[in-house]
Every structure is written in structure tokens, then in C-alpha cells.
Structure 1
Amino acid sequence: MAESLKKKEGTKDEIYKSLIPQIKSLVEDEEDLIANLSNTVAVLKEAFDFLWVGFYFVKGDDLVLGPFQGPLACTRIRYGKGVCGTAWKEARTLVVPDVEAFPGHIACSSLSRSEIVVPLKKEGVIWGVLDIDSAELNTFDEIDKQHLEHLSSILANLFLSIIL
């Protein structure tokens, strides 16, 4: 198991292409979902210095806080509320260049300026979301969306029996 991160300099695309195989290697031999998601957020936060990186799990009509790194977070988010709840409801990744412009944004941290939320799904069932916040405007783009959706797919495939 890899327990150190090989940081790569370069474009955002190059960094993701270096990180995702490392994350896969880090988590594929460990069966505990929480441990694996904890390491995943650590890698993403360390590599990109995002303000906040974390997972929320679907529990009834709420998203409930899971492993994260960053400032204190909202513990529960209702279905359809805020960026996370909306991404869950619409079953699609949301890239928000300016959270202040997003109707109904939930400000868990006043430092958050932009956000990306990727629904985590397996066989059409959304079991959670990956939420990443930045202290800068316009941090996230199609490159982040593409790579984070790919990472989410890898995680869902590795942990299907735990998730569903």
C-alpha cells in the first residue's frame, strides 16, 4: 500500500493524472470505506490546497457529513438544499464559480468562494457526494469535473458491496 504522496508539479490536468492512480493504489487493498475516503480527502486537500474537501453520505432525506479536511462543516444538508443537496437532487456535478451567486447556497464557512460537488453513484443510486470548496472564485472547471467524476466512479466500483 502506498502511504506517501508523490506530488507532481504542472497543470491541473497533469496533477490529477498523477494523483488518481495514487489514490486508487492507496485504497484498493483496504476494505474500510471510511479509512479510504479519509485518505482520499487528505490527498486532494494536500495536492491542491483546497479550503475544504469532504464526503457526505445519503441517509434518508439528508446528506450526513462523512470524512473531511478543512474548517468545521455542516453536519446535515437536506435533499435539494444548497449546492450539495441540489447536486444530489439533480444527479449531476455542479461547478459553482461564485457561491454567493448560487440561489440557496448554504454557507458552512464564510471563507468559501467557489465549489464543486460530484454525486457519488453506483448503478444509478446516489449514495453520497464529494464536496470541494475553495477560498478563491472560479477555482473549478471542466478539468476538475472530468477527473473528480472519474475518481468517484473508481471509488464506487471498489466499494460497491459496502455502498449498496
Structure 2
Amino acid sequence: MPLTERAVRSLRQAGCVRHVFICTPINLEFTDSDCTVVVGDLQTALKTAIEMFPDIRFGLIHDIERAETPPEVIKSVVDELERGAQAVIPVLPLTDTVKEVDENGRILATRDRAELRVMQSPLGAPIDVLRKAEDPRRPDVPLSTVPGHPHGLRIRTAIDVASVTP
């Protein structure tokens, strides 16, 4: 199943997403009646969403490379917005050891990972916050977090693609 279809499936299965806007630089054929393909940037997709759904309260920006994000994670982002968060992102604790190195590649220090997190998607925020942001992927408000999921890690390589569930 193509990554776009996987991502849309997870969003729809969350039970809290009314419509999906697929933002792309090229025209795509997508026949789901609850999806609209928007050729352009995120601002264009956001404007289209607001025109189609003037009563929209929240927007989710979901990365296609995170197509296996479970519906429960998506729902938890929306639930946190319903509780009043200004913006929400799923995160996972960092499990790898992170080293600081100098310009010659020599290790200088080991970072304490206790307070470090790996960001996932979707990013959720009230529609007005997204509309006012210069870049909707980086709203200028405090970000709250919800627990992410290992399946929400980025799919980038052939090995990643081969490891995703059917």
C-alpha cells in the first residue's frame, strides 16, 4: 500500500479527522471522497481547508514519512487540543547514546538523554494558530507533547519501507 494511503488510513481510523488535505508539489490521483489534493505549499492547503470548512477548529500537519503512526496517537493529539493545548506533537524518549564531537570527530562529551525526545507527527494546533504562523510546521506557541509510538518513526530508506506493516 502506498505511503499516502497508509497515512490517510491512520488519520481516518483515528475517528476525529473530518477531512484530509494532501499537500503536494505535483498533482496526485486520489479518489477518497474525504480527501482533497492541494497542489502547493502548506499555506495553500490551509487556506483551502478553511474555505471548505469555515467552522474548522483544529488542524493536523502529518508527515507522509510517518505513514504508520497509529490512530491512537493521532487521537491523543486531538484530545490534548480539546483540553486547551496551544499546539501538540507526539514524542518518544531518545534511546540512542548521543555524543558531542569536535571538528575532527573526536568525542567531547556524552549528552544526557533523560530530557531529550524524538519528535513525530502529526503536529496539531487550533486553526488560528496555524493560520498566523509564518510556517505552520513551526507555530510560534508553546508545544505540548503526548506519547508517540515506535511505528511513528520516519520511513526514509528501503529497509524502513520493507519493515512497515502491510
Would you say same fold, with TM above 0.5? no
TM-score, normalised via structure 1 length: 0.35
Question: TM-score scaled to structure 2, two decimals?
Answer: 0.34
Which structure has more relative contact order (CA 8 Å, sep 6+)? It is 2
- The structure whose Rg is larger is 2
More helix by share: 1
